[in-house]
Structure 1
Amino acid sequence: MNKQLRAMVRHTPWLFFLTIGFGVMGSVLLYFQMHLYGNIVSSVFIHHSWRDNSTVLVGIVLLFSSRGLLAWSAEKSAILMAAKNKKVLRKQLTRKLFALGPAWVMQEDKGELLTTTFEGVEQIETYLARYLPSMVLSTLIPITLLIFLLTVDTTSTLILFITAPLLVVFMILIGKKTAQKAKREWRALSLLSSHFHDIMQGYMTLRMFSMEKPQEDAIDAIGEAYRKTSLSTLRLAFLSSFVLELVSTLGTAIVAVFLALRLIDGHLTYADALTVLLITPEFYLPFRQLGAQFHAGQKGVAAANRIFAILALQPEAAPIEKAPLSMVHGLAMPCSIRFEHVSYHYKDSSTGIHDVTFSLPAHTSLAIIGPSGAGKSTILSLLVRFLAPTAGRILINETPLQTIDERLWLSHIAYVGQKPHLFAGTIRDNLRIVNPHATDEEIENACKMAQLHDTMLTLPDGYATMIEEAGTNLSGGQRQRLAIARAFLHPGEIVIMDEPTSSLDVFTESLLEEQVLLLKQTKTVIFAAHRIGTVSLADRVLVVDQGNLQEYGTQEELLLQRGIYHRLMNAYKEAAG
Structure 2
Amino acid sequence: MSVLKKFMRYYKPYRGIFFLDMFCALVLSLIDLAFPQILNILTDEVFTDTTGNITRVVVYVGAGLLVMYAVRYVCEYYITSWGHAMGARMESDMRQDLFDHYQRLSFSYYDRNNTGEMMSKLISDLFDIAELAHHGPENIFISVLKIIGSFALLMMINVRMTLILLCVTTVMVVFSFRKNIKMRRTFLDNRRKIAKVNSRLQDTLSGIRVVQSFANESLEQEKFSKSNIEFLDSKIESYKVMGSFHAGNGFFQGLLYTVVLVSGGYFIAKGSLKADDLAIYALYIGIFLNPLNVLINFTEQFQKGYSGFVRFLEVIETEPEIVDKKNAVELTDVKGDITFENVSFQYKDDAEVLNSISIDIKAGKTVALVGPSGGGKTTLCSLIPRFYDVTAGAVKVDGIDVRDVTLKSLRKAIGIVQQDVYIFDGSIRDNIAYGKPGATDEEIIEAAKNADIHDFIMSLEDGYNSHVGERGTRLSGGQKQRIAIARVFLKDPKILILDEATSALDNESERHIQASLDRLSKNRTTIVIAHRLSTIRNADEILVISNNSVQEQGTHEELLKRNGLYAKYYNMQFEGLDEIIM
Whether the TM-score (by the shorter chain) exceeds 0.5 is: yes
* Residue 23 of structure 1, aligned match among 22, 25, 28: 25
Deviation at 1:449, TM superposition (A): 2.4
Partners in 2 of 1:140 and 1:332 — Cα distance? Answer: 66
Kindly report which structure 2 residues correspond to 1:51-70, keeping only aligned pairs within 5 A, or say none: 51=55, 52-70=57-75
1:471 partnered with 2:472: yes
* Residue 211 of structure 1, aligned match among 208, 211, 216: 216
Deviation at 1:364, TM superposition (A): 2.1
Partners in 1 of 2:121 and 2:424 — Cα distance? Answer: 22
Deviation at 1:265, TM superposition (A): 5.8
- Cα deviation, 1:225-284, whole Å, max 9, x if unaligned, reads 322321331232233222223323322443355455555666556775544432222122
Aligned-residue identity in percent: 26
Distance 1:478 1:521, change over 3 A: closer
Partners in 1 of 2:396 and 2:32 — Cα distance? Answer: 71
**2:87–2:131 contact (8 Å) kept in structure 1:** yes
- Cα deviation, 1:367-409, whole Å, max 9, x if unaligned, reads 2211111111112222222212222221222222122111122
- Cα deviation, 1:125-151, whole Å, max 9, x if unaligned, reads 223233454345444442344345545
**2:478–2:513 contact (8 Å) kept in structure 1:** no
Where 1:425 maps in the other structure, the secondary structure is coil
Moved more, 257-266 or 83-92: 257-266
Partners in 2 of 1:77 and 1:471 — Cα distance? Answer: 42
Moved more, 341-350 or 462-471: 341-350
- Cα deviation, 1:414-433, whole Å, max 9, x if unaligned, reads 22233221112110111111
1:246 partnered with 2:254: no
Moved more, 162-171 or 470-479: 162-171
* Residue 128 of structure 1, aligned match among 125, 129, 133: 133
Partners in 1 of 2:261 and 2:49 — Cα distance? Answer: 22
> Match of 1:174?
179
Partner amino acid, structure 1, of 2:35: Q
**1:364–1:520 contact (8 Å) kept in structure 2:** no
> Match of 2:6?
7
Deviation at 1:221, TM superposition (A): 4.2
> Match of 1:504?
505
**1:496–1:525 contact (8 Å) kept in structure 2:** yes
**1:480–1:503 contact (8 Å) kept in structure 2:** no
Kindly report which structure 2 residues correspond to 1:68-147, keeping only aligned pairs within 5 A, or say none: 68-131=73-136, 133-135=138-140, 137-147=142-152
Where 2:357 maps in the other structure, the secondary structure is strand
Partners in 2 of 1:20 and 1:256 — Cα distance? Answer: 35
Partners in 2 of 1:398 and 1:546 — Cα distance? Answer: 27
Partners in 1 of 2:269 and 2:76 — Cα distance? Answer: 37
Partners in 2 of 1:408 and 1:272 — Cα distance? Answer: 78
Deviation at 1:468, TM superposition (A): 0.8
Partner amino acid, structure 2, of 1:336: D
Moved more, 38-47 or 242-251: 38-47
- Cα deviation, 1:203-222, whole Å, max 9, x if unaligned, reads 23332333323433443343
Distance 1:394 1:35, change over 3 A: same
Kindly report which structure 2 residues correspond to 1:225-240, keeping only aligned pairs within 5 A, or say none: 225-240=230-245
> Match of 2:35?
33
Distance 1:159 1:245, change over 3 A: same
Deviation at 1:466, TM superposition (A): 0.7
Deviation at 1:471, TM superposition (A): 0.9
Deviation at 1:483, TM superposition (A): 0.9
Distance 1:210 1:557, change over 3 A: closer
Q: CA RMSD of the aligned region, Å? A: 2.9
Moved more, 141-150 or 397-406: 141-150
Moved more, 553-562 or 234-243: 553-562
Kindly report which structure 2 residues correspond to 1:385-400, keeping only aligned pairs within 5 A, or say none: 385-400=386-401
Moved more, 451-460 or 151-160: 151-160
**1:23–1:141 contact (8 Å) kept in structure 2:** no
**1:345–1:351 contact (8 Å) kept in structure 2:** yes
> Match of 1:282?
287
> Match of 2:535?
534
**2:344–2:355 contact (8 Å) kept in structure 1:** yes
Where 1:12 maps in the other structure, the secondary structure is helix
* Residue 318 of structure 1, aligned match among 323, 332, 340: 323
1:516 partnered with 2:517: yes
Partners in 2 of 1:118 and 1:290 — Cα distance? Answer: 26
**1:420–1:480 contact (8 Å) kept in structure 2:** yes
Scaled by the length of structure 2, what TM-score is found? Answer: 0.89
**1:248–1:281 contact (8 Å) kept in structure 2:** no
> Match of 1:438?
439
Partners in 1 of 2:215 and 2:398 — Cα distance? Answer: 55
Structure 2: stretches of 5+ with no match in the other structure: 578-582
Where 2:106 maps in the other structure, the secondary structure is helix
Distance 1:417 1:143, change over 3 A: farther
- Cα deviation, 1:22-67, whole Å, max 9, x if unaligned, reads 3233222222222112233455765576332212222222223333
**1:450–1:482 contact (8 Å) kept in structure 2:** yes
Deviation at 1:177, TM superposition (A): 1.1
> Match of 2:580?
none
